[in-house]
């Protein structure tokens, strides 16, 4: 590649990231779904959902909690829990550096935020994954916090609600991550055996070890519109079967059609629907 | 005849082929080369030690995938008697990449369950290279429930590159099938003994791959993701699977150190396929002794103990390190 091209590419990236950086104090945000320029104030009022094409922008765990729970009711637990890099994992860069970076950008210690909350005055135990923290992936901390919130719900006899957006098990913690699938699932089994309700919300994207454990073991599974939900990633499937994938493959709509989820609910209606469900299945 | 060999085994195989030729010459009494043969045998012995005594993680992954490595079907024959295979998920089809049924372990009635990898191309195609679809996991759940209902200890064998990635698999709920299998396994009241005999590929392995005891053959692997998958995601394919295998901590000795597994069964130099009967005998010994221990512990508390065991897996810290000592 000629040096000139390389420079051009760099420049282009710079302007892009500069545009992105400008967004928080800017007025407009471009929708990745339909390319429409959206007025940020309005976008925020609309729970970060595009009013033109219904594209659901990824949102932070914090924003989700505000969206779903009664104002000021969320009481976060195990705030300081963090990873200890058990394998001393070094990929392109050290795992500890990825962790530090994720902590800085999200203000979180790991990808799960868990705690007690109220939904329309009713007590629930809530666990939310933040995709911005290493792809919302589940290592020892996420596994432990999700397990604890389910155990707490069992003990306090309240419903569990999880909101997932995750690439799956966290590679950087190897088999310790994989075993978190068993740990969280075992906790769900006990919560369920106690006759308590579990509602799982799947946001874009939820794949791999999270869909293959606690996130699909709920009594009711709700997805956000157009969210990518599946076990294997589309790229892996395409490479394996050497066929083009159907257009809506692994979307929430595809999953609903194939009987894998109960319903698709818009972000703006999510709290209301969960509240109505708890009305039926909560104690 | 050309023997299957990985790159790292090639120098050894060359010497061994040479030795075979010399032995043929000698038996034809064409030349007196007894001393040469003796010398070559010594060299081969030394090279074998050098080749196999300090295997890298990647070399172990390769041995775990070796086409001649004993498969579940071999262990069923070697370890159990009176196997009655069960079929089907009662919903869609019989997925033969997972097999299971009643069997006897000496005098003990047990239920066995495992991934079926083929011993040849024909079997591999029929059994989908040991990569189950959702119906395979649903069959596994059926078999687990039967074991629980009739009080039969569950003995599982793990040997899969992973659950099958495909359109149909996603349509029929691969994720939830695995999740439900994991959940079912976690609550069984009967003893659950797991043997990882080859590949322990991710969630597709975990679905039948944890229990009261996890035994691993020395050159098998158990991993959150295949080394190839990890390399392509983390390094964008720039770095080999070899490097990924090293950092993933997927070998039996590393997993014993991490407290994920309980026992390692040694293999002969070069892997289980060099002495399948011996490996099967040693594996059987471990399974029998694990079962004896678990039975002695009493059935009532097994699910609780299994829960506690899972509960203890996780390395994390809860408090920030103090700034000053």
pLDDT, tens only, A72-96? 999 999 999 999 999 999 988 899 9
Longest CA–CA separation in chain A, Å: 68
pLDDT in tens, B75-118: 999 999 999 999 999 999 999 999 999 999 999 999 999 999 99
pLDDT at A123: 97
pLDDT at A8: 41
> In this prediction, what percent of chain B has a pLDDT beyond 90?
85
pLDDT at B299: 63
pLDDT at B25: 85
pLDDT in tens, B49-87: 999 999 999 999 999 999 999 999 999 999 999 999 999
Pick from A232-246, B239-253, B292-306 the range whose average pLDDT is largest.
B239-253
Contact across the interface for A169 and B225, Cβ inside 8 Å: yes
pLDDT at B325: 37
Cβ neighbours of residue B2 under 8 Å, at least 6 residues apart? none
Contact across the interface for A169 and B307, Cβ inside 8 Å: no
B-contacting residues of A 46-85, CB under 8 Å? 78, 80-84
pLDDT at B238: 61
Which tokens sit at A4?
A: 């000139």
- Between A274-283, B174-183, B206-215, B216-225, the lowest mean confidence (pLDDT) is in A274-283
pLDDT at B41: 94
The answer on pLDDT for A127 being more than 80 is: yes
Q: Nearest C-alpha of chain B: how many angstroms from A245?
A: 8
End-to-end CA distance of chain A: 65
pLDDT at B235: 77
Selected residue with higher pLDDT from B150 and B300: B150
**CA dist., res. B21 & res. A73, Å (int):** 81
pLDDT at A9: 40
CATH of the domain at A204: 3.90.226.10
Give me the residue label for tokens 């010399």: B22
Banded pLDDT at A11 (limits 50, 70, 90): very low
Mean pLDDT, rounded, of chain A? 91
pLDDT at A16: 43
Q: Nearest C-alpha of chain B: how many angstroms from A144?
A: 7
- Would you list the domain boundaries of chain B? 7-54, 61-311
Compute the average pLDDT of residues A45-62: 91
Cβ neighbours of residue B201 under 8 Å, at least 6 residues apart? B160, B161, B162, B163, B223, B226
A-contacting residues of B 221-260, CB under 8 Å? 222-225, 229-230, 233-235, 247-250, 255, 258, 260
B93: left (phi over 0), alpha (psi -120 to 50) or beta: beta
Compute the average pLDDT of residues A130-142: 97
Compute the average pLDDT of residues B34-61: 94
Quickly name the fold that domain B61-311 has. Answer: 2-enoyl-CoA Hydratase; Chain A, domain 1 (3.90.226)
Compute the average pLDDT of residues B295-318: 89
Mean pLDDT, rounded, of chain B? 93
The answer on pLDDT for B321 being more than 60 is: no
Q: Where are the alpha helices (DSSP H) in chain B?
A: 10-27, 34-52, 57-64, 72-79, 121-126, 134-149, 167-171, 174-186, 202-206, 227-234, 241-248, 252-257, 276-297, 302-311
The answer on pLDDT for A184 being more than 70 is: yes
> In this prediction, what percent of chain A has a pLDDT beyond 70?
91
- The answer to whether position A18 is within a domain reads no
Contact across the interface for B247 and A91, Cβ inside 8 Å: yes
- The answer to whether position A38 is within a domain reads no
C-alpha dist (Å) from residue A215 to A125, A129, A212, B178, B247: 15, 11, 7, 12, 28
Which candidate in A147, A175, A248 is best for mutational testing of the B interface (most B CBs within 10 A)?
A175
pLDDT at A13: 41
The answer on pLDDT for B17 being more than 90 is: yes
pLDDT at A7: 40
Residue A65 backbone dihedrals phi, psi, to 5 degrees? -65, -40
**CA dist., res. B145 & res. B70, Å (int):** 28
pLDDT at A241: 86
The answer on pLDDT for B205 being more than 60 is: yes
pLDDT in tens, A190-212: 999 999 999 999 999 999 999 99
Q: How many independent structural domains does chain A possess?
A: 1
Which chain B residues are within 8 Å of A177, Cβ to Cβ? Answer: 224
Longest CA–CA separation in chain B, Å: 81
Instruction: Establish if B196 touches chain A: CB-CB under 8 angstroms.
Output: no
**CA dist., res. B194 & res. B210, Å (int):** 6
Which chain A residues are within 8 Å of B214, Cβ to Cβ? Answer: none
pLDDT at B30: 66
pLDDT at B237: 64
**CA dist., res. A154 & res. A275, Å (int):** 19
State the residue range of the domain holding A173. Answer: 59-281
CB-based contact A181:A169 (threshold 8 Å): yes
Banded pLDDT at A25 (limits 50, 70, 90): low
Give the number of A-B residue pairs with CB atoms closer than 8 Å. Answer: 189
The answer on pLDDT for A4 being more than 80 is: no
The answer on pLDDT for B36 being more than 80 is: yes
pLDDT at B269: 94
Which chain B residues are within 8 Å of A84, Cβ to Cβ? Answer: 315-317
**CA dist., res. A69 & res. A123, Å (int):** 10
B-contacting residues of A 227-256, CB under 8 Å? 230-232, 236-237, 240-241, 243, 245-246, 249-250, 254
Helix, strand, coil percentages, rounded to 5, for chain A? 45, 20, 35
pLDDT at B320: 64
pLDDT at B27: 81
The answer on pLDDT for A227 being more than 50 is: yes
């Amino acid at each position: 590649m000629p040096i000139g091209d390389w420079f051009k590419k760099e420049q282009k990236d710079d302007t892009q990231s500069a545009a992105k950086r400008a967004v928080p104090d800017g007025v407009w945000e471009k929708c990745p779904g339909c390319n429409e320029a959206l007025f940020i104030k309005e976008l925020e009022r609309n729970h970060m959902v595009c009013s033109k094409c219904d594209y659901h922008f990824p949102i932070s765990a914090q924003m989700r909690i505000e969206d779903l729970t009664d104002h000021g009711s969320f009481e976060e637990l195990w705030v300081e829990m963090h990873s200890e890099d058990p394998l001393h994992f070094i990929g392109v860069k050290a795992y500890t550096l990825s962790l530090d970076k994720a902590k800085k950008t999200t203000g979180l210690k790991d990808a799960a935020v868990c705690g007690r909350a109220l939904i329309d005055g009713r007590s629930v135990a809530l666990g939310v994954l933040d995709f911005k923290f290493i792809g919302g992936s589940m290592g020892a901390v996420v596994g432990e916090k999700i397990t604890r919130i389910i155990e707490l719900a069992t003990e306090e006899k309240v419903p569990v609600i999880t909101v997932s957006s995750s690439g799956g098990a966290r590679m950087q913690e190897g088999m310790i991550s994989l075993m978190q699938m068993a740990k969280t699932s075992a906790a769900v089994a006990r919560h369920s055996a106690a006759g308590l309700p579990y509602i799982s919300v799947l946001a874009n994207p939820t794949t791999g070890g999270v869909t293959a454990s606690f996130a699909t073991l709920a009594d009711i599974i709700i997805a956000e519109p157009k969210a990518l939900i599946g076990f294997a990633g589309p790229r892996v499937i395409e490479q394996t079967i050497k066929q083009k994938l159907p257009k809506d493959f692994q979307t929430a709509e595809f999953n609903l059609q194939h009987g894998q989820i109960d319903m698709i609910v818009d972000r703006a209606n999510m709290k209301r629907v969960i509240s109505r469900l708890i009305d039926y299945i909560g104690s | 005849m050309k023997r299957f060999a990985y790159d790292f085994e090639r120098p050894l195989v060359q010497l061994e082929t040479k030795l075979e030729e010399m032995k043929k010459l000698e038996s034809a009494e064409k030349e007196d080369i007894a001393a040469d043969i003796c010398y070559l045998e010594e060299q081969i012995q030394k090279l074998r030690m050098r080749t196999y005594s300090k295997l890298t993680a990647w070399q172990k992954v390769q041995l775990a995938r070796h086409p001649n490595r004993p498969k579940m079907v071999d262990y069923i024959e070697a370890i159990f008697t009176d196997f009655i295979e069960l079929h089907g998920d009662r919903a869609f089809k019989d997925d033969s990449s997972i097999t299971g049924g009643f069997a006897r372990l000496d005098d003990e009635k047990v239920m066995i369950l495992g991934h079926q990898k083929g011993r040849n191309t024909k079997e591999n195609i029929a059994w989908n290279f040991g990569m189950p679809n959702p119906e395979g996991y649903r069959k596994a759940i059926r078999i687990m429930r039967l074991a629980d209902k009739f009080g039969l200890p569950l003995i599982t064998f793990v040997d899969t590159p992973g659950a099958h990635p495909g359109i149909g698999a996603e349509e029929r709920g691969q994720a939830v099938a695995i999740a439900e299998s994991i959940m079912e396994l976690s609550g069984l009241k009967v003893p659950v003994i797991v043997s990882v005999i080859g590949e322990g590929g991710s969630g597709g392995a975990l679905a039948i791959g944890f229990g009261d005891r996890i035994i691993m053959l020395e050159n098998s692997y158990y991993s959150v993701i295949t080394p190839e998958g990890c390399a392509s995601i983390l390094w964008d394919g720039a770095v080999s699977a070899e490097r990924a295998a090293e950092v993933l901590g997927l070998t039996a000795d590393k997993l014993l150190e991490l407290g994920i597994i309980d026992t390692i069964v040694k293999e002969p130099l070069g892997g289980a396929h060099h002495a399948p009967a011996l490996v099967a005998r040693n594996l059987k010994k471990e399974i029998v002794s694990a079962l004896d221990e678990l039975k002695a512990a009493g059935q009532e508390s097994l699910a609780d103990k299994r829960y506690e065991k899972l509960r203890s897996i996780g390395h994390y810290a809860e408090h920030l390190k103090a700034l000053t000592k």
